[in-house]
Structure formats: structure tokens, C-alpha cells
Structure 1
Amino acid sequence: MSSTGIFASSGRGARQENIEDDRPVPILHSMTGMYGAFDRINELADGPHLVVAGHDPEVLTRFPPLTGPLSGRVAVIAP
């Protein structure tokens, strides 16, 4: 977690809907561990709008794009 309360998730929250719907990915080692990870992700962020699922292409539509040559590939994520 950063000091701004944004939480970037990768392995446990592959897509935003996995975290928001409390729905684990299909292949996992521990179901209870997965639900614990979802709870912890939501505890660390300052709100559900600041949880960023690292492998979700929807991140680029949920957050405004960076302008310039990286537009469409980089999003601006700020509280």
C-alpha cells in the first residue's frame, strides 16, 4: 500500500470483478487464503475505487489516461 491508500493487486486479484464480487480465480491453492487476501486488499485501500487489479485491461478505462505518447497504455491513478 502506498501512503495515499491506493492498493495495486496482482496475483490474488487478477481482475477487478474478482475483488469486487469476492470471486476467486478458478485455480488456487487455498480458498480460505484467497478470501483472506480479498479482505486484506479491501482493508489496505482507502476505498474500493482505489483498488487496482494489476492484470485487468479495464484499468485503462476505469482511470483517466496519461496524456502524450503513453496515452492508451498508461493510466493516472490518484486518490
Structure 2
Amino acid sequence: RDLAWQNGMLVFNGEPLSDALNEVSRYTSTRFKLSSEELASIKVAGVFKAGDVAGLLESLHTNFSINHERQGKHTVTLTQNTKS
């Protein structure tokens, strides 16, 4: 994990989503807005390419029913789908 960043990878092992997204933002021009504290506290795990925002957003949608909406070129708003 300590060397993964040298290969352009980010590894998350149960960090809150807000922390994971802050880390992603360090490697891209994308900034994330979370719709709630509940969403921010979701624990995430996985390995992602540092610049692959689209892959990350797809994974969040598939695994957590988190939807995204682009707000301009560099901002993404995330909301959790509450439908069962």
C-alpha cells in the first residue's frame, strides 16, 4: 500500500468516503461535494488508478448506489440513492 502511489494507484481499506475523495482530489483537478454527513462517513475499500475519476464514480454507483452529477468541469456532487 505504501508504494502503490508510485505506480499511480490509490488503496483504500475502510476509510470514510470523504477522506478517500480528498485523496483522489490530490491527484486530479476534480473536487467532490457530498450531500450529507451520512454519505461522507461510508467506509470504502478498493484499489483505484489515481486519475480514474470515472472508474471511481462507477464503482461508487455499483457498490453503494451513490449517484453523481457534474457541476461544471471540475466539480462532482454525490448523492445516495435512497430507493430500495
**Same fold by TM (over 0.5)?**
no
Larger radius of gyration: 1
Comparing both chains, which one has the higher relative contact order based on Cα–Cα distances under 8 Å and sequence gaps of 6 or more? 1
- Bigger strand share: 2
TM-score (norm 2): 0.24
TM-score (norm 1): 0.25
